[in-house]
Chain A
Amino acid sequence: MRSNPQPDRIISAQKIFLRRGTLEASLLTDLLSRWPLIQQLRTGADGTGSEAMSEHTRKLRPKHDGAEVTPSICPYCGVGCGQLVYHKNGKLISIEGDPNSPISRGHLCPKGADTYELHTHPGRLKKVKYRRPYSKQWEDLDLETAMDMVADRLWESRERTFQETRDGESLMQTTAIAHLGGATLDNEENYLIKKLFTGGLGMVCISNQARI
């Protein structure tokens, strides 16, 4: 894919040329005044410095100028690099290293440096996808409906497979429902998973990536 680096910033010279008919005098003057030859004559400079800068260049500011910044931690490996998340009006603008972190000192690896794309790329899921048994395709599903359906499945499977006792002794488990995952999640999330699944529902088949 060869994409346009700064699609929103482009006011190409060609476009100005095409709009010549409506070009205002002031713009013409401006254009002329930026013409290197005129600049050279006027300022004595060589026409390659600030005198040659377009309005856009002169006004150039970093894209996260004036954005809110929220401290964060990189989601990839276990190093735990500090990140700064820049956002404006609820939209992400950029994610870069946090120089205050005593571990990462503002640096990121290629994965950490790509965290903005991780959040914003077009392949991200935004709706629940549902596949019926024996179906050949995905369907969209409303979030609340999906939650109800999952609660149903979980409840029914637990009802079918729960064992309260074995040989008169307390067993209180189901081994027919399992959970996998946790090393990419937050401590609070893992805590709620273990608390509900094991402490509340009696699921013992709980596992994640962590071993040693």
Chain B
Amino acid sequence: MAITAFLTDSTLCIGCKACEVACKEWNGVGEDGLNWSGYSYDNTGAVGHSTWRHVKFVECAPEPGFGGNAPELNSWSFSSDVCKHCENAGCLEACPTGALVRTEFGGVYLQPDVCNGCAYCVVACPFGVVQRNPDDGRAFKCTFCYDRQKAGLIPACAKACPTESIKFGEIESLRRKATERMQELQRRGMRDATFYDASDSSVGGTHAMFIVRGDPRTYNLPPKPEVPTTYLKKAWTSSAIAAGLLLAGSVIAFLSENRSNGR
């Protein structure tokens, strides 16, 4: 079974939100409120329990004569955010019920029939992707269209995307594509283009990779996402060391007592 991934290239995104709608249509996810935000054209805010794909709009002041594609300026950018399907997934490690599983395609799948709504995964996600549905109590997030992938189909969002800003495929070939694309963008003068897959952080790489312009943080992509369970490991190690030291101390104390007793 091929290990798959998304590569979302925001230099091709036209901000149409077809991915959001295609995702909701396929997965039967409901509307999450009719709230006009006044924030650019974005009224769905962020990825959450009822928005599994989300297109962020970043508005700058455009100069006449320089369109958004001009390498000198980047006036209105769009990027489609999604669950990163981390290699070391905080949610998966935190889940006490086994509701979160790693699929044969490398994605992280939240089983709605197993989830008991404890929300450990919510706090464990370094990207703020997983969210509890307050009405139903359970947590929800992008399924990576596990059902479609099992049948050899590509996820609904990637299929709909009109400009193929969202690419889907075998992870290594997408990485190669990303490298080529980065070279191409650099050649065209887009020196601020950045490739993001968080491979040098504690999440150990993601199955949703991005090419964005400017600081990735603008697109909810933290420079060093951290899996909380790393701290857990550290904590365990520290406790283990502490316990070991204590034990050693006791033993030493005991032995020395014995020794002294033996004098």
Contact = CB atoms under 8 A, between A and B. Distances in A.
* A, B co-complexed: yes
Interface of A: 1-6, 9-14, 34-36, 47-50, 52-54, 56-57, 60-63, 65, 94-97, 99, 104, 106-114, 116-117
A57 B225 CA distance: 29
Nearest to A96: B159
A113 B18 contact: yes
B98 interface: yes
Contacts of A4: 30, 133, 135-136
Contacts, number: 136
B22 A50 contact: no
B100 A48 contact: yes
A107 B30 contact: no
Interface stretch (B70-78, B104-112, B245-253): B104-112
Given A5-B27, A6-B28, A34-B98, A107 B146 contact: no
B85 interface: no
Given A2-B135, A62-B148, A47 B153 contact: no
Closest 10 pairs (CB-CB, A-B): A3-B30, A113-B22, A110-B21, A52-B98, A113-B21, A107-B162, A52-B101, A110-B18, A2-B135, A56-B113
A35 B98 contact: yes
A150 to B, nearest CB: 36
7 contacts: A3-B29, A13-B114, A52-B98, A54-B111, A57-B109, A97-B159, A99-B159
A30 to B, nearest CB: 13
A165 B146 CA distance: 71
Given A5-B27, A5-B29, A61-B147, 17 more contacts: A2-B30, A2-B32, A2-B135, A3-B31, A4-B30, A5-B133, A13-B113, A48-B98, A48-B102, A52-B101, A63-B26, A94-B25, A97-B160, A107-B163, A108-B160, A108-B162, A111-B21
